[in-house]
Amino acid sequence: MAEPSYGWEHGAYCAMFVAETDRLAAVARGGDLTAPVPTCPGWTVAKLLKHVGTAHAWAAAMVRAGASDTPVAARSLDLGLPDEPSGLPDWLTAGARESAAYLREAGPDAPAWTFGPVPHARFWGRRMLHETLTHRLDAELALGITPRIAPEVAADTIDEFLTILPHTLARAAEPPAYGSGETLHIHTSGGDRAGEWTITLEPDGYTWERGHAKGDAALRGDAAAVMPVLLRRADLAAATGAGDVEVLGDAAVVARWLELSAL
């Protein structure tokens, strides 16, 4: 498994997740908070806002708690939720600013429980950017808005996704067999942080590394188009049909990865 590769420094990630929260809140203010969210079955836009705001508070709580073998229970947090759903966007933006300020003040090396390879506050700044970005896409899709993503942020989202996914999947009761050595190469363009990654599917999971390589299959396109496909916020067939993403080689390998990497 590759070591984390941070595209920006800790303070920048904190500022970016606040800015992304503002975008999500603006989407919600202009839409129906009772609308269902197709990419998060069973959720409404209001529930999505609560989830994101809780995640922001939880991230700060992990850093406040310091080094620990167990996470802080989210249900133990005093979230200060508004009385009416209409107050959720303002609640969300205020909470993001409070959490980001705490993470920034604590500094990147402050110890914290994480579900990734880095037990420090810098994990949470980056994680909250991509958590918020992904759910902003969810809200936009729910409300009929075409999502727009900066390609350099999309590339960092892919890298962070591959970094944390093994730790998330390891908690599954019965981890599935991924494959028998098949390889998938992901190649993104756009912006100044384009990236390449190669994933190897193995019987007991997968490994991955950054850099150019030839795989049994390849998924290629602008990072802003590839990232939603990998996180299942865009349909692969629709993306390839529109010419936004290209699949080369064994398409079954791509399909297998998308099936098994779902969070």
The span from the CA of 189 to the CA of 60, in Å, is 33
Asked if residue 83 lies in contact with residue 101, where contact means CB atoms within 8 angstroms, the answer is no
Res. 166: pLDDT tops 90: no
Taking CA atoms, 189 is separated from 15, 154, 192, 193, in Å, by 24, 10, 8, 8
* 135-147 pLDDT per residue, tens: 999 999 999 999 9
Residues 6+ apart with CB under 8 A from 65: 72, 112, 113
Residues 6+ apart with CB under 8 A from 120: 108, 109, 110, 111, 112, 114
Structure confidence at residue 47 (pLDDT): 98
Of residues 225, 216, 5, the one with CA closest to residue 137: 225
DSSP per-residue letters across the chain? -PPP--SS-HHHHHHHHHHHHHHHHHHHHTS-TT-B-TTSTT-BHHHHHHHHHHHHHHHHHHHHH-S-SSPPPGGGS-----SSGGGHHHHHHHHHHHHHHHHHHH-TT-B---SSS--BHHHHHHHHHHHHHHHHHHHHHHTTPPP---HHHHHHHHHHHHHHHHHHHTTSSSPPP--SS-EEEEEEESTT---EEEEEEETTEEEEEES----SEEEEEEHHHHHHHHTTSS-HHHHHHTTSEEEEE-HHHHHHHHHHT--
* 82-98 pLDDT per residue, tens: 999 999 999 999 999 99
For 58-79, what is the mean pLDDT? 94
Q: For strand 217-222 and strand 183-189, is the pairing parallel, antiparallel, or unpaired?
A: parallel
Structure confidence at residue 172 (pLDDT): 58
Please, what is the average pLDDT of the chain?
93
Res. 181: pLDDT tops 50: yes
User: Per-residue confidence at 173, pLDDT binned at 50, 70, 90?
Assistant: low
User: Per-residue confidence at 3, pLDDT binned at 50, 70, 90?
Assistant: low
Taken in order 77, 11, 149, 247, the sign of the CA dihedral is negative
Residues 6+ apart with CB under 8 A from 44: 33, 34, 35, 36, 37
Domains of the chain: 10-148 (1.20.120.450), 166-260 (3.30.1050.10)
For 69-73, what is the mean pLDDT? 93
What percent of the chain is modeled with pLDDT above 70? Answer: 95
Residues 6+ apart with CB under 8 A from 55: 128, 131, 132
End-to-end CA distance of the chain: 18
* 96-133 pLDDT per residue, tens: 999 999 999 999 999 999 998 889 999 999 999 999 99
Of 41-45, 75-79, 157-161, 202-206, give the lowest mean pLDDT range.
202-206
User: Per-residue confidence at 37, pLDDT binned at 50, 70, 90?
Assistant: very high
